[in-house]
Structure 1
Amino acid sequence: MSLGTFRGVPRNDLGHLNTSGRPDPDAVFHRANLPRTGLDDVPAAATGVMCSVALYLHEGDLISSLTFISGATAGGSLTNQFAALYSPTGALLAQSADKISEAWAADTAKTFALATPQRITKSGVYWAALSIAATTVPTLAGSLGAKPVLTGEGNLAQTSGTGLTATAPATIATPAFKRHVPLVLAS
């Protein structure tokens, strides 16, 4: 087996990544866009703007919900909150119900059940989206991502839409690069 110039044991060198996933892979199914280590407090998006993050899903996965985790800033005067799952081409597959003014405290996971669970028929990069309309949009647990520079690279996170309330757009139209990449768990 050729590992280039690497001379170590890959399992040993990558062992720290075991802390990023679920402790027992057979306990709870989920897919995540980021490891649980190295996360910080990142802004979501402006009020009424959708933030979508790249999420690799495997053929056969059944996605019923999307979970985002707030950071140090709680949501204030929330009026609309929804999550949505989009196809690799940016077409809406399913969205959650609008959680309207439901509170979102700091450092709290919030799960958005999709109205229709989605069975993934082809492995690839999908888009998990979150839109919040509020006086104070909560910050989220996440990381920083670099802007795509090579041909074929895509955004890790992006924003789209304005003035969104209770309904996800049919497509992700005119996405703009977003440096802050929120953590999302799909289950």
Structure 2
Amino acid sequence: MSTVLGAYRGNVRDDLGWLNVAGRPDPGAVFHRTNLPRVGLDDVTALATGVMTSVPVYLNEGDLITNLTFISGGTAAGTPTAYWFALYSGAGALLAQTADQTSTAWAADTAKTLALATAQRITKSGIYYAAINVTATTPPTLVGTVGAKPVLTGEGNLAQTSGSSLTTTAPATIATPAYKRQVPLVLAT
């Protein structure tokens, strides 16, 4: 017998109860959107110097996104010369970028929150892309997870790379994205 829940036969509220602890805090107290739950995360090598990594994040109509946060893992940024975060539309068009952080240190195990140059009011619910680029002798590792390559028609990448030799400015579009196994955690606030 199939129901509105498909083939699932359990109590959804009971099965998802762990999210009350592992998931996000009360959204009424701290507004944010994220691409991953807080469980199953580890230290991942998600970056290559001068190559942008982007991840999909679902945003709701009316959300006001002013900041993006990525968290370094066990490896700090070694001699950074440029790094920034950016928000892209679902079609891959640049909406806003943070200021370039030039040589500002980024220590290991540290959340880095950067303000978008222009806050973005989301006008249509859907997938958007949060991106990060670090140009450094050693890019930091990031808190994240490992994702499988898309296998079904219509599936998107959980992380992707694009561009090369990037420095201070985010590209106007996410051009020729390539699948990336390591998926960094991002928080949009």
* TM-score normalised by length of structure 1: 0.96
Residue 76 (structure 2) pairs with residue 70 (structure 1): no
- Which residue of the partner structure matches residue 89 of structure 1? 91
Q: CA deviation at 1:4?
A: 4.0
* Paired letter, 1:167: T
- Which residue of the partner structure matches residue 168 of structure 2? 166
Identity of aligned residues (%): 72
Residue 143 (structure 2) pairs with residue 114 (structure 1): no
2:11 counterpart (6, 9, 12):
9
Runs of 4+ in 1 over 3 A off after TM superposition: 1-7
- Which residue of the partner structure matches residue 180 of structure 2? 178
- Which residue of the partner structure matches residue 103 of structure 1? 105
2:151 counterpart (143, 146, 149):
149
Verify the 8 A CA contact 2:98 2:117 in the aligned structure 1.
Answer: yes
SS at match of 2:43: strand
Q: CA deviation at 1:5?
A: 4.3
Q: CA deviation at 1:10?
A: 1.1
Number of equivalent positions: 187
Q: CA deviation at 1:18?
A: 2.0
- C-alpha distance in 2, partners of 1:13/1:164? 44
- C-alpha distance in 2, partners of 1:60/1:103? 34
- Which residue of the partner structure matches residue 40 of structure 1? 42
- Which residue of the partner structure matches residue 24 of structure 2? 22
1:58 counterpart (57, 60, 76):
60
Provide structure 1 residue ranges, at least 5 long, that are not aligned to the other structure: none
Verify the 8 A CA contact 1:19 1:36 in the aligned structure 2.
Answer: no
Q: 1:161 and 1:26, CA in 2 relative to 1: closer, same or farther beyond 3 A?
A: same
Q: CA deviation at 1:128?
A: 0.2
* TM-score normalised by length of structure 2: 0.95
Deviations 1:32-78 (A, max 9, x none): 00001110111122100000001111111100010000001111101
